[in-house]
Structure 1
């Protein structure tokens, strides 16, 4: 009989390298390694050879960068998503795409299961498995970190490093740099190891070599750089007059932001599974895009539409963070977001300087801002009669006066 097939989400890092060998040994199965190219750059070098040498029977390395940028990053940025006021969801938004492609491969290969290297304490296990449940409920999921036998053998990363060394598996993690990283087109994250101490200063000079996408703000150019971003219906389409597709846009903004030390975030966040965790993120291009998008919205979005959309940002961000990208409620909110962006067209000028993204001008052919109405000088259009404000205030104050009167009568 043919062996069972398992599709493993494989990054080539410590966890998935060890898991690949462990799955093959434990399940006596054929392991198909899958890596999504979503912007890891040189991290993909030699990955196929490494997976095969570790025991994979077949390796998929699929270039999903364009799909990632156009179908995941751009729609999310239209929503204004920002988890807990800081996190631009760089890891969160990549997981549903990876899981989507993984179940497609599983079906094509006749695999009965997919596997991932997410720990039982993290968010990624939820994101992978909720996506699989939504798209391919008939395929089972193997999560080694949740299996007692696996945890007994590998109580921590130190044991995994030792196992890798013993089995000739090359990994980047070492005892001196045990933190884990996750890189894609939108960001790179750092967690675990010395970062588990929230008092540890990740911005200190001694830790400069940890960062990948950006220079330290102190090392950024002493002169600011101005850029102009053009938007069409809520999507960035050009930089300084040069038309770019979403993938090219993200790559270019990453270079610009990284050059000026933009997009570093160090935060303690609330995981879906209930605990707090500390993460350090570099999101240079996303930080610029987020600020520019908000700026063009301020000029072109109707007030009530903006406020309605903004009221859903927390919900939308939480859905993405928790892994509900393919859930009906996220799709419903996305439909509203798409409608809200129809008039978000124009050009934003931004100043990049030592970690800062500074607004330096905005214009639009469909601007809702009318300087003749907003002016503090005489209004040539006479569209606004200042005297009308008295009645406006009087009517809005009515319920406050009534409430105050009731409180005074009751002696409160």
Structure 2
């Protein structure tokens, strides 16, 4: 149930990031609903963005702020399963998409513990996040009221929100001139709005201060960086021979990838709500992990499994993007993916150079690649004469059709068909 300010509540739990939308929401909710506001922020690796958050939330009227460290759960239960699936959405590596269901689940848990009447989020009525938050809330608290002010409030532009914040002395890290809409977590950083709204405008990736997780390819070092990633059952477990915790490994890859201009994506994507939207994404570590994982699957998965898994990856990516993480289909697809990962163990060596990821080597104890089979030199494990019978059988439908067309052409004088 979505509600406007014609209903009063005793206690509302707010999904709080400290950004523009949620900063103005605390006083706005108190003014319009006459309620206690409890803020909840999910730490999914946004680091410095959490500094001073509690003081800010309390000063603007929240009764308390929960800062929940969800980073490890985010990586192990959401990021890695998505990497294993090879799932993307129109090239986008789903950085915001799979963070929202996790945060929403924790918000529901706190709302229940606090005895809250409603949950509020600051997502716009044009975006994808409103769907991701609310579908997760419905999955865990189907009877909970949901308040989404962007659908009906008077602060229907970011300029009006900034003016409201200034009137209520709410400190902001942005102003009207630097008002990019950003989302940051351990996995990525997204940039939207302002000049990026016009696809005719080049993204300012070479402008100082725009990129935060790395540098542009033009500004990257002139010498390549070599790295080796080890996987166990499709999960990255070591970097350059050093066993690492999953969070630390992504942090390390973000650093080396960012320094080499890796993982900058500028796309116009198709939003769930139907419109196209332009965004610039920084995903340095994630881009490396996807490339390495795919390289390892090249030698550890058989043809039929790998090809079918690509179909699964497409659907998996759509489910994640559309906020359908907590659904039977996503769980079923993950079960399939888990089965495919049992042999995805080995080492992948990559060279990072000015935005490029260059494969160097891949090894696995479960490799299906046979040098003896594939060699162009003389071998004793493959009789090349066998290929003639294979081609005769494989091409039989084509031959039968051609003979039929030839017979019809002779009978009618017409040419059947034009096969070129």
TM-score range normalised by the length of the shorter chain: over 0.9
Aligned to 2:105: 100
Aligned to 1:7: 13
Q: Is the 8 A contact 2:9 2:35 kept in 1?
A: yes
* Mean CA deviation greater in 169-178 or 234-243: 169-178
Q: Is the 8 A contact 2:300 2:364 kept in 1?
A: yes
Shift of 1:370: 1.1
Shift of 1:20: 1.7
Secondary structure at the residue paired with 2:214?
coil
Secondary structure at the residue paired with 1:218?
helix
Q: Does 1:45 pair with 2:43?
A: no
The one of 384, 387, 396 equivalent to 1:386 is 384
* Mean CA deviation greater in 395-404 or 209-218: 395-404
Q: How many Å separate the matches in 2 of 1:188 and 1:204?
A: 13
Give structure 2 stretches of 5+ with no counterpart.
Answer: 1-7, 410-415
Q: How many Å separate the matches in 2 of 1:367 and 1:3?
A: 60
Give structure 1 stretches of 5+ with no counterpart.
Answer: none
Secondary structure at the residue paired with 2:209?
helix
Aligned to 2:131: 126
Q: How many Å separate the matches in 1 of 2:401 and 2:253?
A: 52
When the two structures are superposed, what TM-score results if normalisation uses the length of structure 2? 0.94
Shift of 1:317: 0.5
Q: Residues 349-360 of structure 1 correspond to what in structure 2 (within 5 A)? A: 349-360=349-360
Q: Is the 8 A contact 1:208 1:216 kept in 2?
A: no
Q: Is the 8 A contact 1:173 1:180 kept in 2?
A: no
* 1:400–1:203 CA distance, 2 compared to 1 (3 A): farther
Shift of 1:402: 2.5
Shift of 1:208: 3.2
* Mean CA deviation greater in 283-292 or 128-137: 128-137
Q: How many Å separate the matches in 1 of 2:252 and 2:273?
A: 35
**Deviation digits for residues 206-252 of structure 1, max 9, x if unmatched?**
x3311100111111111111111000000110001111121111111
Shift of 1:312: 1.4
* 1:407–1:34 CA distance, 2 compared to 1 (3 A): farther
Q: Is the 8 A contact 2:150 2:156 kept in 1?
A: no
**Deviation digits for residues 374-393 of structure 1, max 9, x if unmatched?**
111111xx332111111111
Q: Is the 8 A contact 2:9 2:117 kept in 1?
A: no
Shift of 1:204: 5.4
When the two structures are superposed, what TM-score results if normalisation uses the length of structure 1? 0.95
Alignment RMSD (CA, Å): 1.3
Aligned to 1:142: 147
Secondary structure at the residue paired with 2:87?
coil
Shift of 1:406: 4.3
Aligned to 2:412: none
Aligned to 1:164: 165
